[in-house]
Structure 1
Amino acid sequence: MQSTTDYSAFLQPAFARARDLLERRKTERQAPIVPSSSVSGRALVITVAIMTFLASLTVGAVTLVSETAAEWQNDISREITVQIIPREGLDMDAALASVEEVARRTSGVAAATRLTDAATSRLLEPWLGAELELTELPVPRLVVISIDGDDPPNFDALRTELQAAVPQAELDDHRAWVSRLVAMANAMILTGSGVLVLVLVATALTVVFATRGAMAGNRQIVEVLHFVGARSEFIAEQFQRHFLRIGLVGAMAGGGCAIGLFWGMGLWTASNQARPEADQISALFGSFAIGWVGYLGVGVLIFFVGFLTAFTSRFTVLKQLSLIDMLSPVEN
């Protein structure tokens, strides 16, 4: 059986080289434990870029939906409408005048304006065609009431007073539409947040496997440094720097592409307002601009992905080194 002295003499050259490597790293800049450029590193950069691009699209979409829903809600809450159903023997002009009079003397009402025949015809033109004669059809007439947002009127009292003056009048305060818009926006925001969390979790898991692969590729160096006294934090810091660089490069590439896409869509909708496609997009999402809040959210996401990559790598290395300590034989 080989003696302990012979075994120590056998390992002494390897230990000496490892200690020399540690000393030289303290005094001068050396090549890192993990190669700065490799096929797996470039693949991870692309993966992080794709994940960040998808996460940035989610952040922008959630911001866009939230801001657009708020604009819809504000626009609807500033106006209510009164619809007068035509009946036989009803003097429509007198009914419209009565509704305007009741609305204008109500506290909290800023203005009351009837929709003219020309405006009503334009609203019905896509379905009933041009040159529509309103007198020939039982078309309801509308009175648009602008309300004071700081001091809105009592809608129930206003509805009662309007029906007393004109029984055919129906007040629509758009509460049902507002509640549906808010519910839809909240559902989309919740769904987008869930998608964002899943993308970030997938990114972290990808970094875990990449870190384990990097440790496996540099196993001899890592184990020798660890066994000759290098602190686990020192080894983890080498991997952390490597993956922080990868994470930031990939995140900036993916986030930059997402910002360019939103900026380009905003320019396209702004310069093509006359086209039907742009009109439909503008009707749903305004100018398709996410605003400074959305761009700030994407910027925060870029740095978050970078630091998430570094933290995940550090945690994985420390976990693997602790397993090496547990599996290492204990000297008697």
Structure 2
Amino acid sequence: MSTMKSVRTGGAGTIEVVDVERPVPGPRDALVRIRACGICGTDVTFLHLGGMPARAHLGGDLVPVPLGHEPAGEVVEVGAEVSGLAPGDRVVVNPQAAPTGIIGCGGRFGGMSEYLLIENAEVGRSVAVFPDTVPFDVASLNEPLAVSLHAVNRSGAGPGDKVVVFGAGPIGLGAAIWLKLRGVEHVVVADVIPSRLEKALAVGADAVVDSAEEDVIARLTALHGESANALGQPRPGTDLFIDAAGAPAVFDTVVRSAKWGAKLVMVAVQKKGEVDLGGMLRSELTLIASQGYPTEIFEVTPELVAHQERFAKLISHRVPFAEASRAFELALTPGAAEKVVVTLDD
């Protein structure tokens, strides 16, 4: 039996690198050698929990979770019934297409492994091929960029809109890039970490707001002009808010900032807080939820190829697989890293 190394949750706040059986592809499967895999906030959530409840008895004992749902790698073996894929192809993966559960999110397999089995491998559904001009670490951004693109698509943002994105992590910065690529007139990014605001400017934001130090409403008014809510009370002229932070303070700020007819897209996992429904009513604020990527997972791939240098700026740390524990420590430490990608080289 051939084995491989794979990362899974250990105790609360820790990972385990374990030896597991290397998958053998069936006639409709492909085996991918993973070359890079990003760490996501969902991984961090599983780490805080120390696993996830067993599906057979939700709320019961925690079971380990194979981690990693942002993989990129190269095909090493394909089943006899697989078409459109060949050994040597470089691919990104749709973790939600796995029939045995979402890859890295409670499914049978995790992408933070030396090899990943792609069940029922199909180009355009479970994998997409990308050229060798794109480094594997940059290609591993495909999945989070699909989350960002879905949020922007849900927003309906147009060229004349004035937008603010709260949260300069990978999802928020990805959203800022997509907004500018579709020609949105003015994009502001707000965060509490100065280095992240610098990164926002580097990827194309028109302005930034340090929400720990600045009056956000006053700053948005200066940038987007003055408008009003449904009662005529003064508000910034911001048309669209994207919450990629999930902090209750963001929602409060949006409600206090929203002009008549403004929209809020909620893409971050929300922390507990109270919602000022009266404030929403006074602005007729439209709340739009954005979850995952129903169609966007491979729509982003050609754009990632075309604008790879811009998207590469989202990566703050590249950590070798042998130091996976350090990579997850970085991801677990607030403010220590923006986007951590684990690399698996020859």
TM normalised by structure 2 equals 0.22
Which structure has the highest strand share of the two? 2
Q: Which has the higher contact order (CA 8 A, sep 6+)?
A: 1
Query: Highest Rg: 1 or 2?
Result: 1
